[in-house]
Amino acid sequence: MVSFFKKNDKDKIEEKDIKENNIDITKGNIPSHIAIIMDGNGRWAKERNLPRYMGHKAGVETIREIVKECSKLGVKYLTLYAFSTENWKRPKDEVSALMKLLVQYLRKEVKELYENNVIVNTIGDIERLPDLCVKELQSAYDKTKDNTGLTLNLALNYGGRDEIITAVKNIYKDIKEGKLKEEEINNDTMSNYLYTKGIEDPDLIIRPSGEQRLSNFLLWQCAYSEFWYSHIKWPDFRKEHLHKAIYDYQNRDRRFGAVK
């Protein structure tokens, strides 16, 4: 029988470590903005001889748990990297499966997200997504936009380089049209031209699955973010792993380039 909970040795060691260490995150600061690269779905499925799609499907269950937990902990922003500008290079059926999962997730979850005071927002060039996705995303935003709790940013057709290029083009256009002066360009101006306008930079970036790279995620915004990696693949990622990431974050010394 195929075990859905098969774990490799690295995962087991990590889980043991998390269980054995008494992790108390109530004494430190909860990061305001957590951003997650939800990686490892494909490998999770492969280990179980399942199609890659099943890994993404299992990954949606993790999204549910982590959104709930972030909301409970008082995190202000949770940004999930769900589909990058490069993910179009994947096989067509995987791309359409991902789009379908997105629509299903929104249709099924929006009511509960609304009741949990969550705002459903997107970052990325969403106009290129299938019409149905755009429609459901817009509807989810309209329904939840007046909430005051966690903002869930779904990064879709998102790429950090694409975001910066778009910002530069818009800055150039505004200068040409006399709406902006060259001397007004600074860090804050640049931030205001990004998809994340009005959203504070991520404090903590989490990447499960063992890969240690940024993959074109929040390139401008992560200048001073803390990074946390884990061998656990996204479908196996649980709130205990989130707690461990937050606990480690709380024990880091953030100096922002200055001396204490």
Coil, helix or strand for 78? strand
Of 31 and 59, which has the nearer Cβ to ligand FPP? 59
Of 34 and 38, which has the nearer Cβ to ligand FPP? 38
As measured in angstroms, the least distance from the Cβ of 234 to ligand FPP is 6
Site residue total, ligand FPP (CB under 6 A)? 18
How much is the CA Rg of the chain, to the nearest whole Å?
A: 19
Which residues within the stretch 28-87 sit at the binding site for ligand FPP (CB under 6 A)?
38-43, 56, 59-60, 63, 82, 87
Token pair belonging to 258: 């200055």
The H-assigned helical ranges of the chain are 9-20, 41-47, 52-73, 92-115, 131-144, 160-176, 187-192, 239-250
Q: Does 152 bind ligand FPP (CB under 6 A)?
A: no
Q: Does 231 bind ligand FPP (CB under 6 A)?
A: no
Question: Would you list the DSSP string of 90-138?
Answer: S-HHHHHHHHHHHHHHHHHHHHHHHHTT-EEEEES-GGGS-HHHHHHHH
As measured in angstroms, the least distance from the Cβ of 156 to ligand FPP is 8
What residues pair up with 226 in beta bridges, in sequence order? Answer: 204
Q: Does 205 bind ligand FPP (CB under 6 A)?
A: no
Token pair belonging to 228: 């946390």
Q: Is 39 annotated as a binding residue?
A: yes
As measured in angstroms, the least distance from the Cβ of 145 to ligand FPP is 18
Q: Which residues bind ligand FPP (CB under 6 A)?
A: 38-43, 56, 59-60, 63, 82, 87, 98, 101-102, 105, 154, 209
Q: Which residues are annotated as a binding site for Mg(2+)?
A: 39, 226
